[in-house]
Amino acid sequence: MPESNATGNAVVGTPRPILRRNGLVLFVLVSLYVLAGFGLFAWQAVQWAGSRPELAGRIEPLIGVASIAVLLGLVVFGTFLTLYLGRLSADLGRLQTRALEVAHGERSAQAVIERDDEVGMLARAIEKMASDLQARESEIAEARLEQFHNERMMLLGGIAAGLAHEIGNPVAAISAIASEVAYAKRAGRAAECDVEQLIGLAERLAAVTHRLATVAGPRSKQRAPVALNAVLESVAPLVLLDSRFRRVRIERSLDRDLPLLLLAEDDIVQLLLHLLVNAAEALAESGQESPRIDMTTRQESGWTVLEIADNGRGMEPEAAARAFEPFFTTKAAGRGSGLGLDACRRIVERYGGRIALESVPGKGTRVRCRLPSSEASKGVVL
């Protein structure tokens, strides 16, 4: 039986020399059988020679030669058995190591062993499995990128009308002030201008364009210290301009003392967009009269925790258990690819974090992401 760790996952250790031990037992049993048979034959031969003295001188040398032949045969058999089982055990150990590498993500083709027997067939099957997994993961990775691009484009299209209002008002105000100044100059009187108002309008435009740049990207893929709350406060107001968020109220409860996160900002934006869009679509399907999304950040046992919760229809336990599987979705055909939460899981785990989903039918869904702070994540290797 394989041992288990604290989480209940099977732990595969160093191969034990079971084949060699069993081979030694087999060799001992065969040797005892052969020696017993030869001893019985020799005893009967001696008895027979005793009854016929004229043959005793010829039988005794034959018994000696037969004894040497039996011993040499046992030595040869033992050597062959040891070498065969030793090679078989070594090849099976290499297969075990290769299978564990495949299970942990090593997909590059390797010629582990060259055999024409069943063990060789097993080795080729493992390499075929690794190749198929690599092709499948490549397809999923491309599908994730395509889905995120499509979601980004849909979001930008959805907020276009809202942006017209957000940008149009400050631009109209600036235009009115500029027209008033120009009219005063043409009339030959001193132009009065509220500079503070202009600065406020310009800052409002700058804030809108910064939020748009955060969502539209592309952002840097390089790791750098990122303030999680700042990204949330840039993304949340902008997504509210999308029609899917028209009736949704976003409540923020942010820990202002969060440490920095050492990661690529584009990954955090992608994570947030997936979670927020998922929550908004769940709320749209639930018919909730007061749809709400709660965004929470806090520190917990040395980790930075991000939670996105909605008060939508929730998920059945069977669906919640499969939520992070690639291509699994509870949405109607054509409305979801089932890659959003899978992409979120991969982003969080890429930085040594953990993601969990809690859902209660009729009450809503909560996704919790635990991410290491910048100090903790320095030891995490991609």
Identify how many contiguous H helices and E strands the chain contains and give both numbers: 9, 9
Nearest 5°: phi and psi at 113?
-145, 155
Nearest to 342 by CA among 321, 366, 324, 318: 324
Instruction: Report the alpha-carbon distance of residue 363 to residue 170 in Å, rounded.
Output: 40
Closest CA to 341 of 368, 305, 381: 368
Residue 262 bridge partners (DSSP)? 225
* 3 state DSSP class of 15: coil
Tokens of 325: 């599987």
What tokens does 240 get?
Answer: 């509210």
Tens digit of each residue's pLDDT, the chain (382 residues): 344 443 344 444 444 566 667 767 777 777 777 777 777 766 666 666 666 666 656 666 766 777 777 777 777 777 777 777 777 777 887 888 888 877 777 777 666 677 777 777 888 888 888 888 777 777 776 766 666 666 666 666 666 666 666 676 677 777 777 787 787 777 777 767 777 777 777 777 777 776 666 666 555 678 888 899 988 988 888 888 777 888 899 999 999 999 999 988 888 888 888 899 888 888 888 777 889 999 999 998 889 999 999 998 888 888 888 888 877 776 655 555 567 788 888 889 989 999 999 999 988 999 999 998 765 444 443 3
Using CB atoms within 10 A of its CB, is residue 166 exposed (0-12), middle (13-18) or buried (19+)? buried
Q: Please, are residues 366 and 357 in contact by the beta-carbon 8 Å criterion?
A: yes
> CA-CA distance, 62 to 58, in Å (whole number)?
7
- What CA–CA distances, in Å, run from 328 to 89, 288, 347? 41, 24, 18
Residue 176 to residues 37, 162, 193, 197, Cα–Cα distance (Å): 116, 21, 11, 12
Residue 173 to residue 205: CA distance in whole angstroms: 11
- The helix-helix angle for 56-103 and 118-186 (nearest 10°) equals 10
Domain ranges of the chain: 3-106, 146-377
Any residues with CB less than 8 A from the CB of 358 and at least 6 apart, and which? 320, 365, 366, 368
Instruction: Give the pLDDT confidence score for residue 245 in this predicted structure.
Output: 84
Give the HSE-up count for residue 146: Cα atoms under 13 Å, Cβ half-sphere: 9
pTM given for the model: 0.54
Q: CA 179 → CA 131, 156, 202, 287, 375, distances in Å?
A: 68, 32, 17, 48, 54
Token couple for 292: 């709400």
Task: Give CB contacts under 8 A, 24+ apart, made by 243-250.
Answer: 243/158, 243/161, 244/158, 244/277, 244/280, 244/281, 244/284, 245/276, 245/280, 247/291, 248/280, 248/283, 248/291, 248/292, 248/293, 249/290, 249/291, 249/292, 249/293, 250/292, 250/293, 250/294, 250/295
- Specify the pLDDT at position 1: 39
User: What does the chain come to in residues?
Assistant: 382
Q: What does the buried/exposed string (b/e) look like for 51-79 if buried means 16 or more CB atoms within 10 Å of the residue's CB?
A: eeeeeeeebeeebeeeeeebeeebeeebe
How is residue 381 written in tokens?
A: 């290797």
Any idea which residue has 């595969």 for tokens?
12
H or E segment and range at residue 240: none
Q: Which fold has domain 146-377?
A: Heat Shock Protein 90 (3.30.565)
